[in-house]
């Protein structure tokens, strides 16, 4: 059986079909949560941001015109909520961000699980040490797989500004990870 398209689900959700809305949330909650987690560095804050994102999307669903994909529109809102969260409170680096990231399929290889968690924690600590604007570009480039042009468009910055932030972030991450 084929899953309904985002456009169809949005159309039905606009017509107050609860199941269509729930399908949209279920389809994207992991993506939004992981994005928020990488940006905030804290599970509780990520949950708060995710909740704010879906409330905002629900309230503004009628504004989505379909100029971009629903996923792009949703992730733009998620990015804006992360920026708002950062402005409200500057998050501190968390030691336990990736505590439960290991896949259930890896339970039989404890060494691989430990190594993966340690590397993930190092990366998250290094990302949290970056200025927010650089962390934002790294998140959008590597985890959301956006081009630098798309990042510039989403953040309302010039492509040159995004390139500068990106290259500074990569240099800083390299330096931090090499010193460990």
> What is the tens place of the pLDDT at every residue in 63-80?
998 888 899 899 989 988
* Spans of all domains in the chain: 1-94, 116-180
Model confidence band, residue 111 (pLDDT cutoffs 50, 70, 90): low
In this prediction, residue 97 carries a pLDDT of: 38
pLDDT reading at 109 higher than 80:
no
Tell me the pLDDT tens digit for each residue of 11-23: 999 999 999 999 9
Q: Cβ distance 74 to 28 under 8 Å?
A: yes
Q: How far is it, in rounded angstroms, from Cα 18 to Cα 150?
A: 32
pLDDT reading at 30 higher than 60:
yes
Q: How far is it, in rounded angstroms, from Cα 49 to Cα 79?
A: 10
Mean pLDDT in residue range 115-123:
62
Residue in the block written with tokens 């905002």: 56
What's the CATH number for 1-94?
Answer: 1.10.1740.10
pLDDT reading at 180 higher than 70:
no
Average pLDDT over the chain, rounded to an integer: 82
Mean pLDDT in residue range 33-47:
89
The fold of the 116-180 domain, in CATH, is Arc Repressor Mutant, subunit A (1.10.10)
């Amino acid at each position: 059986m084929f899953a309904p398209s985002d456009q169809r689900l949005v159309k039905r959700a606009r017509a107050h079909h609860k199941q269509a809305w729930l399908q949209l949330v279920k389809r994207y909650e992991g993506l939004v949560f992981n994005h928020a987690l990488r940006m905030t560095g804290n599970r509780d804050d990520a949950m708060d941001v995710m909740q704010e994102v879906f409330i905002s999307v629900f309230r503004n669903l009628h504004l989505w015109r379909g100029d971009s994909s629903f996923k792009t529109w949703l992730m733009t809102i998620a990015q804006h909520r992360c920026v708002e969260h950062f402005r409200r409170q500057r998050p501190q680096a968390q030691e336990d961000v990736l505590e439960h990231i290991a896949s259930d399929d890896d339970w039989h290889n404890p060494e691989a699980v430990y190594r993966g968690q340690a590397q993930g924690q190092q990366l998250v600590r290094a990302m949290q040490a970056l200025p927010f604007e650089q962390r934002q570009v790294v998140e959008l480039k590597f985890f959301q797989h956006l081009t630098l042009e798309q990042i510039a468009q989403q953040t309302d910055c010039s492509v040159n500004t995004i390139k500068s932030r990106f290259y500074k972030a990569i240099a800083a991450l390299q330096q931090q990870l090499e010193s460990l």
